[in-house]
Amino acid sequence: MSQTSAFDSSVPSATDRVSNINSDSESNVGTLAVESSTTSISASDSFIVSTSGTHASISSFGASSQSDSTSASTTFSQSKWAQPSDSSASLTGVMSQNNAIVYTIDVTIGDGGTTLPVLVDTGSADIWIAASKCENCRAASMVDSGLILPEGCKEEDKGYGSGSVKGCLVNTNITIGTYELEQFHVLAASDSQGFDGSYMSGIFGLAMNKSSINNQATPMDILSQLGMISTPEVGFYLTRTESGSELVFGSPHNNPHADQSKKVTLPKVATDDGLYRVTMDGFVSHGYMVQSSKGSVNMENIEVILDTGTSDIRVPEDMLLPIYAALGNGTYYSDTLTGDLVVPCNNNDDDAALALQFEGQQFSLSWQDLIANPSSTDANYCYCRIQASPSEISDYLIVGSIFFHNVYHVINTDTGNTTLYGLVD
């Protein structure tokens, strides 16, 4: 294992020390500094599973403006929802290395009432379900929904950060938690590539309808329009375990897991897509804003996409060395056989190692969320769940579930704003 010191005390300070919560910064006392590098982490060596992340090529599926013309039909049976009925639903964590990396919710489809698990994904806006005659879906062990594609239907293609589907939009009854939507449009998949059917048989997209196929209304649009929920918001409490996670529909802010004293509401960055893009102040480690030694890499006021369908944190490659050096408290480590960046598997400075800061508020990541599988060269060092984005992504980050383990967060599906809370101990 190769060890490289990255703390250069002779370098003039490039940043202020950052205090813990929304208070004035202290005097300059140094900076974690490394030179940017072309070192890359091979995808084949990376443990990270990014099940349905939002990459540049698929960041927006809809047109540039939001359409209100498409909505599911309101039926007589749905008129009972004259008064909002906010509720929560249980999620199942998909486990890997003793840590939940993505989450599924059971939905019930069609007249036959087939129940199947779908991945909860704020990085996309459509619901797709494995159709009855989808051979690849069946080969991947997905549940057969019983949905039949109409003859001569128009095929739609949908790409994800890891995987793709194609199929036709069909209207069917669908139950999500306590809510039933009649004749709602879902994408019945006739082909699926790159998805693991052992835990998912589709995706439940919770992005805004600007990112949906043809800008069609999303389930949240319909729940809000029909008065089934009091506000167009969803709250997420995502645990590290297989059970215990919650999805909260409507008025989710007064949740017992949300620390009201540690709250920040982030406006959506103005873009044409329906993703939850916000601005992050930067990374904080051991009280310092993380920067490269000569400021050659911009690591402040960064655009990030908050995405529950991604397991890890994806950053432009030139940010990796400064971050890994910060995680090593001034030293970064690389595997001498593979050249991959690694971090110590155990860290005594758990809460100080790394935080994400938004509008002055810091949200620390637990060390256990940063660690993936051990290096085959030295089991004392582990791969890290902060990895390089695809090369075409250079101007934003993708923040996934390893961060959400450490916060309670709320999305507004009308405005695209996101509210972050610390967790109640």
Segments of the chain assigned to CATH 2.40.70.10:
2-50+257-423, 68-249
Residue 225 vs residues 84, 183, 232, 247, 415: alpha-carbon distances, Å = 11, 15, 9, 19, 15
Please name the residues in contact with 115: beta carbons below 8 A apart, sequence gap of 6 or more.
106, 107, 108, 109, 143
Rounded to two decimals, the pTM is 0.83
Tokens read off for 120: 């909860």
- pLDDT of 59-79, one tens digit each? 222 222 333 333 333 332 444
Beta strands in 267-407 (DSSP E): 277-285, 288-289, 300-306, 313-315, 331-334, 341-344, 355-358, 361-364, 371-374, 381-384, 386-388, 396-399
How many Å from the N-terminal Cα to the C-terminal Cα in the chain? 37
Token pair 């934003």 is at which residue?
Answer: 396
Tokens read off for 412: 């507004």
pLDDT (mean) for 359-369: 97
Q: How many CB atoms lie within 10 A of CB 169?
A: 19
Percent of the chain scored above 90 by pLDDT?
Answer: 74
Span 68-249 CATH architecture = Beta Barrel (2.40)
Q: Which fold has domain 2-50+257-423?
A: Cathepsin D, subunit A; domain 1 (2.40.70)
- pLDDT of 227-281, one tens digit each? 999 999 999 999 999 999 999 999 999 999 999 999 999 999 999 999 999 999 9
